[in-house]
Amino acid sequence: MLEGGRGKRGGILVVNAQADLAAAVERLLVGSDLLPKAATVLVEQFVVASRELYVALSVDRDLGTPVLLVSALGGINVEDVPEEDLHRFPLSILDAEVPLVVIEAIATELTLNADGPLGGVLQAMWTCFCKSECLLVEINPLIVSNGELVAADAKMVIDDDARRRPTGIDDGRDKTSFEVACAAAGVTATELSGDVAIITSGAGLAMATLDAVVRLGGRACCVVDMGYSTLQSQSTLQEVAELVYGLAPRAILINAFLQMASCRTLAAAMEAAVRHGSWRMPVVARLTGNDAEGVEALLSSIGVVVAEGTEAACVDAVRLAAAG
The reply to whether 168 falls in a domain is no
For residues 218 and 111, state if they share a domain.
no
pLDDT at 167: 47
**How many domains does the chain fold into?**
3
Q: Write out the chain's pLDDT in tens, 324 residues.
A: 555 666 667 677 788 888 888 888 888 777 776 677 776 777 878 888 889 999 999 988 778 889 999 999 988 788 788 888 999 999 998 888 999 999 999 999 999 998 889 999 999 999 999 988 888 999 999 999 888 899 988 888 887 665 555 444 555 457 899 999 998 888 889 999 899 999 998 877 888 899 999 999 999 999 998 876 667 777 888 888 889 999 999 999 999 998 778 899 889 888 888 887 768 899 999 999 988 888 999 999 999 999 989 999 999 999 999 997
pLDDT at 251: 96
pLDDT at 172: 47
For residues 145 and 242, state if they share a domain.
no
The reply to whether 272 falls in a domain is yes
For residues 139 and 276, state if they share a domain.
no
For residues 198 and 287, state if they share a domain.
yes
For residues 178 and 59, state if they share a domain.
no
Q: What is the CATH number of the domain that holds 236?
A: 3.40.50.261
The reply to whether 238 falls in a domain is yes
pLDDT at 286: 94
Pair 225, 282: CB distance under 8 Å: no
Domain extent for 293: 174-323
For residues 295 and 212, state if they share a domain.
yes
Q: What is the CATH number of the domain that holds 107?
A: 3.30.470.20
The reply to whether 242 falls in a domain is yes
The reply to whether 113 falls in a domain is yes
For residues 209 and 309, state if they share a domain.
yes
For residues 266 and 129, state if they share a domain.
no
Pair 187, 240: CB distance under 8 Å: yes
Residue that terminates a domain, selected from 124, 158, 192? 158
For residues 310 and 211, state if they share a domain.
yes
pLDDT at 306: 94
Count of other CB atoms within 10 angstroms of residue 108? 11
For residues 26 and 84, state if they share a domain.
no
For residues 61 and 152, state if they share a domain.
yes
